Amino acid sequence: MSDYATPTSAVGGDFEEPPQVMARNLRVASQLWASATAFFFFAFVFAYFYLRSLNSQNLWHPHGVSAPTGSGTAIMLLVVVSAAAGYMAARKLAAGDAASFRIGGLVALALGLAAIVVQIVQWSSLGFGPTDGGYASVFVGWTGLYALFLFGTLYWLETLVATSFRSPKNTDSAAAAAFAFYWVVLALVGVATWVVLYLL
């Protein structure tokens, strides 16, 4: 019959797999997920510039709608520093220092959560609402979804840190590196958000 397999029962044996396979998978998945994220937020970049150019009924950026640049900058800085902390933590782990990784990971986690808290505070004290024109709509949608992405990615970080605490000797540096890559990309998206929504 087959040269390659015999019909066994449905429960197969657990075959050994080299650890590099999972490491490669995580790295590739992180890059792909980063690409998907970039295209997701590209839609909002497109919406910003397109609606601004159309300026329907002069309601793109009506009087009284002002971007809260202070809190916006704070959010961006928190995310960027968090990404730096996450990146350095991953580097430490690759060099073998799991304890530093755990500390760096906790710092990144705290800063990321702080960014979300500041964002929520900003929404509650916004001088405008979603009905106040094109810019306001893009602002609400973009910042809301970005906060959602932050939250989901922080969950990812938490799993890595928690795993490291639980089995300190087995902390997966490939997983940490994959996370750090994506976290940096998300921080860059945050910078782009800041530039488009607050600077322009």
Cβ atoms of 67 and 83 within 8 Å: the answer is no
CA distances from 33 to 13, 30, 37, 114, 164 (A): 31, 5, 6, 24, 23
Per-residue binding letters, 94-133, with another protein (x by CB under 8 A): ------------------------------------xx-x
Site for another protein in 55-74 (CB under 8 A): 55-57, 59-62
Query: Can you state the angle between helices 134-166 and 19-54, rounded to 10 degrees?
Result: 170
Residue 200 binds another protein (CB under 8 A)? no
Burial class of residue 114, CB neighbours in 10 A (0-12, 13-18, 19+): middle
CA end-to-end span of the chain? 69
- Residue among 43 and 195 whose Cβ is closer to another protein: 43
- Residue among 84 and 136 whose Cβ is closer to another protein: 136
Alpha-carbon gap, residue 171 to 2, rounded angstroms: 41
- Of 18, 21, 183, 200, which lies in the binding site for another protein, with binding defined by CB under 8 A? 21
Q: Which stretch binds another protein (CB under 8 A): 5-13, 68-76, 177-185, 189-197?
A: 5-13
Cβ atoms of 194 and 76 within 8 Å: the answer is yes
Per-residue binding letters, 156-175, with another protein (x by CB under 8 A): --xx--xxxxxx--x-x--x
Alpha-carbon gap, residue 34 to 123, rounded angstroms: 26
Q: Which stretch binds another protein (CB under 8 A): 23-31, 75-83, 114-122, 184-192?
A: 23-31
Contacts to another protein by CB under 8 A: 1-15, 17, 21-22, 24-25, 28-29, 32-33, 35-37, 39-44, 46-47, 50-51, 54-57, 59-62, 130-131, 133-138, 140-141, 145, 155, 158-159, 162-167, 170, 172, 175
